Amino acid sequence: MKNALIERLTRYVKIDTQSDANSETVPSTSKQWDLLKVLAKELKELGLTDVDLDGKGYLFATLPKNTEGLRTLGFLAHVDTATDFTGTNVKPQVIDYDGGNIVLNKDLNVALTPEQFPNLNGYKGHTLMTTDGTTLLGADNKAGVTEIMTAIEYLIEHPEIKHGDVRIGFTPDEEIGRGPHDFDVDKFKADFAYTVDGGPLGELQYESFNAAGAKVKVTGNSVHPGTAKDTMVNAARIMSEIVASFDVHDTPEHTSGYEGFYHVTNLVGDVENAEFNMIIRDFDQGAFKERKSHVQKVVDSFIDKYPEADIQLELNDQYYNMKEIIEKDMTPVELAKQAMADLGIEAVIEPVRGGTDGSQLSYKGLPTPNLFTGGENFHGKFEFASIDDMEKATQTIIKIIELNAK
């Protein structure tokens, strides 16, 4: 199975599929079609039915049941890769790791080290796939795609394993928060599903942030600085003052676990025009509302302070904590926990401190917790995937399907 995982992941990560938040098309980039079409072809070759790649980049397929009366399970992964680090010209490297530093790129002096990433110490004896130090790897989420495809292939090769209908879904644009926007839950026809989009071994997540996005725009007045007294309105300076008014410790780099945060994702501007985007996150619904209210109050205070400027706020909810839906019926979580226990894997129940399609899908009527993939250090040149843990993720998918028949 390891060789099959290496072969598939190597092929998939070489296909550039970065999404683009500034695009209005669906998918947001045409290159996502490149992988989707490859997957559609492979699903048909495996003999799956109902293989359907629609006009918006949602690829569904069915492994037909061999046993009657069972629930229909779904397994989902997204094909796009992150926008915050390049995914063009990925050159994966396969390494049998025995400890110490991993030189990713000798010419550029880029190394993956346990000093910088202590999590690496837990992978001695593993086969790892890394980058060449110039791109991300794309294991987020091509590791999940690989594991689903490999699990389905295994089930086809082992018809003695009883199962109901298994629905497969590969989706676009998760990295820019749009993955579930056009996902047709009724068409997918699953009782519940799993996103295979987590990180280290054993992760099982059914809690996510409540999430909102804020955009603040400041319009000032540009005047020659030599004659600017009482006429210049410096939008860039006002914007920086607004950003600095938020608690520096209430940010991603200073929070963990169930702590929420404010996160300025980008800012641009000059004297005439300036703007920044911020994401707002909290697990608790009440605290989430307070955070949004705080953003509004901060902006209102600067509107009062600088009446000569035009300051505008756009504030929109993005998704909600999927726990509110999933805890009504914990069957998918209990099934995954049992599958891991049967495989000798300790389930690590923890909240998702990031986006997951499962949040929006759960509120659309498809309860969707998240499973580990075996990847680490996503969204950058130090990303890697443990092929050993990918094998365990694949086995977990198979075991969940098997247990569903019992």
Q: Is the pLDDT of residue 369 over 80?
A: yes
Give me the catalytic one of 140, 165, 174, 391. Answer: 174
First to last CA, the chain: 25
The residues, ordered by sequence, that sit 6+ positions from 260 with a Cβ below 8 Å of its Cβ are 209, 250, 280, 281, 282, 283, 284, 287, 288, 291
Asked whether residue 355 carries a pLDDT value surpassing 90, the answer given is: no
pLDDT in tens, 239-252: 999 999 999 999 99
| Average pLDDT taken over every residue of the chain | 96
* Per-residue model confidence (pLDDT) at position 84: 86
Asked if residue 320 lies in contact with residue 327, where contact means CB atoms within 8 angstroms, the answer is: no
pLDDT for 402: 97
391 is catalytic: no
Using alpha carbons, list the distances in angstroms from residue 84 to 43, 155, 259, 274, 338. 30, 36, 23, 21, 36
- Equal CATH topology for 2-207+321-404 and 210-318: no
pLDDT of the residue at 235: 98
**pLDDT (tens digit per residue) in 53-99:** 999 999 999 999 999 999 999 999 999 999 989 999 999 999 999 99
Residue 265 has φ and ψ, to the nearest 5°, of -90, -30
> Cα(72)–Cα(28) distance, rounded to whole angstroms?
30
Active-site position among 20, 80, 147, 389: 80
Which uninterrupted H or E stretch holds 157? helix 139-157
Q: Is the dihedral of CA 358, 144, 141, 146 positive or negative?
A: negative
Pairwise pLDDT comparison (355 vs 100), residue with the higher score: 100
Q: Could you tell me the pLDDT band of residue 238, with boundaries at 50, 70 and 90? A: very high
80 in catalytic set: yes
Q: Domain 2-207+321-404: give its CATH architecture.
A: 3-Layer(aba) Sandwich (3.40)
> What is the average pLDDT across 225-233?
96
DSSP one-letter code for 81: B
| Mean of pLDDT values over 175-193 | 94
Query: Domain ranges in the chain?
Result: 2-207+321-404, 210-318
Tokens of 5: 């995982």
When pLDDT is averaged across residues 383-404 and rounded to a whole number, the result is 98
- Residue 354's pLDDT is what? 77
CB-side neighbour CA atoms (13 Å) of 403:
19
Length of the chain: 406
Report how far Cα 102 is from the mean position of its chain's Cα atoms: 26
Q: Rounded to whole angstroms, how far apart are CA atoms 169 and 141?
A: 13
> Does residue 378 surpass a pLDDT of 80?
yes
For residue 188, how many other CB atoms are within 10 A of its CB? 21
pLDDT per residue as tens digits for the range 262-298: 999 999 999 999 999 999 999 999 999 999 999 999 9
Predicted local distance difference test score (pLDDT) of residue 30: 97
The token pair that represents 295 in the structure block? 């953003």
Averaged pLDDT for residues 30-57: 98
Distance CA 128, CA 316 (A): 40
Query: Would you state the pLDDT for residue 403?
Result: 98
Contacts with 279 (C-beta within 8 Å, 6 or more apart), sequence order: 211, 212, 213, 214, 262, 263, 265, 318
What per-residue confidence (pLDDT) applies to 356?
82
Q: What fold is seen in the domain 210-318?
A: Alpha-Beta Plaits (3.30.70)
The distance from CA 11 to its chain's CA centroid, rounded to whole angstroms, is 20
CA atoms within 13 A on the CB side of 317: 12
Give the contacts of 257 (CB within 8 A, at least 6 positions apart).
Answer: 350, 351
What's residue 160's pLDDT? 97
